[in-house]
Amino acid sequence: MCGAIKGGPSLEGVDVANQAVIQGIVTRDDEPVGNAYVRLLDAGGEFTAEVPTSATGQFRFFAAPGSWTLRTLAPRAEVVERKVVAQKGSVAEVAVAV
């Protein structure tokens, strides 16, 4: 695979109007990381959910509106944290470079 595609997975079939979507892609040197783990922490820092990235490095959460933190773990990499705000009816895209 040469170079990462931009943004999270396709939203085809997702009822975005009724969801607060957080999604994105994990890359290393601009290549997708397909074996990373993305953890979703709530505003108080509590773990809420975790997903493995897809083969194309992508991930998605259906969150509640509010402030969240993404914590990304990948083999042979430091943990990366990103703050993100989710809103109902919109998609928050997050790019994570490890």
Partner 1 sequence: MSRETALVTADWVEEHLNDPKVVLVEVDEDTEAYDKGHIPGAIKLDWKKDLQDGVRHDFVSKDRLEALLSEKGIANDDTIVFYGGNNNWFAAYAYWYLKYYGHQNLRLLDGGRKKWELESRELTTDVPSREATTYTAQEPNADIRAFRDEVVEAIGTKNLIDVRSPDEYAGRLLAPAHLPQEAAQIGGHIPTAGNVPWSKAANEDGTFKSDEELAQLYSEAGLDENKDTIAYCRIGERSSHTWFVLHEILGYPNVKNYDGSWSEYGSLRGVPVAVGDQPGQA
Q: Which residues sit at the interface with partner 1, rule CB under 8 A?
A: 14-15, 18-19, 34-35, 37, 39-40, 42, 46-52, 55, 60-64, 71, 73-76
Backbone angles phi, psi at 15, to 5 degrees: -80, 75
| Minimum CB distance to partner 1, residue 48 (Å) | 5
What distance in Å separates the CA atoms of residue 95 and residue 29, rounded to the nearest whole number?
Answer: 13
| Minimum CB distance to partner 1, residue 56 (Å) | 12
What distance in Å separates the CA atoms of residue 13 and residue 45, rounded to the nearest whole number?
Answer: 31
The residue (of 28 and 71) whose beta carbon lies closer to partner 1 is 71
| Minimum CB distance to partner 1, residue 30 (Å) | 21
